[in-house]
Amino acid sequence: MPTTTTRIVISSTDLLSSTLSVDATATLTQAGGSTAIAETSGLGVTNNGGSTSQYTLYAQASYTDDRAHKVYLRCASSTAAEYVVIAIASQELGRLYAGDVALIPWNGNGDFKITPSATNISLEHAIFYE
């Protein structure tokens, strides 16, 4: 069975009065247990093709509800003011600006949607799911 490990490193020497250093590692597991998540879409890149309309990145109907899915996103734009809005169903989660990265837990209840702020923004993405 495959094992998928994530690592988040956050560091800053000037954000706080002392050095900030966070280094967290976790193995992605299925809901309610220690069995590893065994499926992935693979790494892909989606370009909104000249549109700023909202689109569904991952459809609820394609994944089992109430599971421990994880969605990896990276806004591949190099223009600082550009971003994508992340939403699940009609609930907006936030914005991912140029170069930003996120690993978001998703229970599969509601479509995972993206709304780009500008035309031709590339979004790197993958889903790890049960």
Q: How far is CA 46 from CA 56, 105, 124, 128, in A?
A: 11, 20, 6, 17
Contact between 125 and 73 (Cβ < 8 Å): yes
State pTM to two decimals. 0.92
Q: Spell out the domain ranges in the chain.
A: 33-129
pLDDT score for 3: 87
Tokens of 55: 């689109």
In degrees rounded to 5, what are phi and psi of residue 35?
-75, 135
Does the 33-129 domain belong in CATH 2.60.120.1540? yes
3-26 average pLDDT score: 94
Per-residue pLDDT of 75-97, as tens digits, reads 999 999 999 999 999 999 999 99
Q: How far is CA 91 from CA 24, 65, 88, 94, in A?
A: 28, 17, 5, 9
pLDDT score for 46: 93
38: pLDDT confidence band, cut at 50, 70 and 90?
Answer: confident
pLDDT score for 90: 95
Q: What is the mean pLDDT of the chain?
A: 94
Residue 107: pLDDT over 90: yes
